[in-house]
Structure 1
Amino acid sequence: MSEKEQPRLASGLAQKVVDTIAPTIDRHVNIMNAHGIIIASSDAARIGTLHEGSVEAIRRNQIIRVAQADDTAGTQPGVNLPLILNERLCGAVGVTGAPHEVEPLADLIALTVQLLFTQEREHSRSARRAAEARDIISALLAGHVAADVIERTLDAHGLRAPLQLELWLPRSEQDPLLEQPALDGARTCWVGLFGAHWRLRKASDEPAADAPNANDRYLIGPAAEDAGELLAQAEAMRTLAGRPAMLPRRELEGIWNQDIAVAVARTPARSLKYLAARAQVLNQEQARTLLVVAAASSMSEAAESLHIHRNTLVQRLERIGQVTGADIRQAAESLRLQHAVYARIALDELQVF
């Protein structure tokens, strides 16, 4: 709700307050809108009628206390208290009885209405944001929405480039992180689509403080400067979501190659076994060693990452060359063997990531 919007008190919410409080305090309670019309009451017959005392309370924006009954005017002793919601006067609360006795009760009722109104407003706002997030992310993943339409939609919701798309496969659908709300101009909420959870966020050089657990399969795309880049990333990430075993756990992102993963994920299922054949003789340790070496800047770095001596690493690589017939010192040979390893991962024959 914009700060400039006039808050509107829903009659259902007002009646809920009356039904809860009136029997407890054993007093007659009315809640009026900004025009003095009773919208909730412990006397159902009065709903929809004008409450004169509240009109005066709203006009003056102050408490009106009635000490004596006036049968001609149809008024009873009591207080009429202006009702402030979202820092705006939007109605009044009336409670019958001796003013000095019921004024604290009227204050309590007004506070209850304010709290419930704020709660309901936040819930509605959250639901609206969730719907908006689903619309935006489903448009990206569908892939057939024009980039300029995506740009306008993002701009309308305060999401401006550079942006990053996140993909997450939580280990539990009850993970509390899934309930994280959207933040205006910073991120959407998580949206479940195509067997995964997705979120769009403002790009940052800093690691996301609200990212999933290091053992979860999670991927965050590079910063996209426009909707065209986002659409391309969304297509690739949706492809990967269809092959969950190929998505890396956060702690293993360093040895994961997205270009190879996407290429293999796009390979027709009937062709995967032929692609995987070259790495069929490798065990899990050998496959991981190959990927670690390919990602490292030096043999020493690879050995340290694997927690083994450099000589042990050299021996492993020699053994990989012997059983596969590939000279992995050659970049092209190594790349072909990596593709084969990823194919086996896609077929759930290896659990490397």
Structure 2
Amino acid sequence: MDMEFQAELVMRFFGAVAKPCEWVPWTRALPNAPIGDWVEGPEGRCSLRVQDGLGVDVTPLTLAERAFLRWALSAAAAPEEFEPLAALGTCSTEDLLRAVVGRDGGNLIRKAATSLAVPVCPAHLVAIEWSTGVGGEVEHRESADMVKNVMEAYVEVDAWLVSRQLPLAVASISRTSLRRAWLSLGHEEMDVRGLSALSGQVASALRSEAMIDARVAVSGVIRTPQEVTAGVAMLELARREAARRNGDAAVFGDDPVRMALLWLDEPARDALLRSVAAFSEVSAEGWPEGWGEIAEAMVRSNLNISEAARSLYMHRNTLLARIEKLRDASGLDVRRGADALALFAAGALLQGQSAPE
């Protein structure tokens, strides 16, 4: 039972019987009684244990009232808001990142990982969240069933967990099943772009086949059972990235540079931008318009100017002229790999800072 709920229950009970509620620290001077049991303490005062370190003075209560309170503490269910999966949204980015790299990210992330079944490794966790109307529990259950049906039409799911409170379902899917699903659709060997495309197809199918506006997020690979906690953290970060992009799908690691830049703290961001513009006479805000898009196009095209020009819908000579202007302004040349990556990172960082939270 949630500890705050225990205390609230006791206070409400004392209020209902119109008697004073006096808390008692449960120290070593008192016996190690189970939660809900009462014992006789110093000076004949009778104390009932509410939590590990907290009790309440039940001397004013009758034996029948004490018995009822004891039953209530042992029989009451935990409050709904304690569901770990639904509460993941309250985790800080710092805690999630600590969990991703194998450090302790906090009790809530561990509890969420415990609530999920990952029968086969290597595997991915896939979260599907959708919009619901006002139909309550029945509509929630029907929507969850439709989500499952559409998802299972694409890929074999090893285990499901559906949130009781949120329109959210999490599936555990083996890497082999995902690859098989991608190949069955007539594509080549699956990579991160293939996984992103498959996620987008599931979201599109939910809209067209089940009339559900859904968003799909996919964790990175969970290689061993010991990495499930990291998988949960990766899944939550992917969910947040999908919401930030306002897109229908996001895969953890599908754009690692951009995502990692968003996780930098403010001094690290400022230092990176200052480093990129270290030899420029003007700040990055004063560089030629569209320089971030040019850098990204060059990175995406593996420094192929003709391909980058096509992706930007401009003539090759126009792009070359703009590259020269950018070089003059920044001191960096996107035709060189290290310079292109540095400019791409700076552009992505500035774009992330201006994006709505």
Pick the TM interval, shorter chain. Answer: 0.3 to 0.5
Determine which structure has the larger helix proportion and give its number: 2
Which protein is bigger by CA-based radius of gyration?
1
Higher RCO (C-alpha under 8 Å, 6+ residues apart): 2
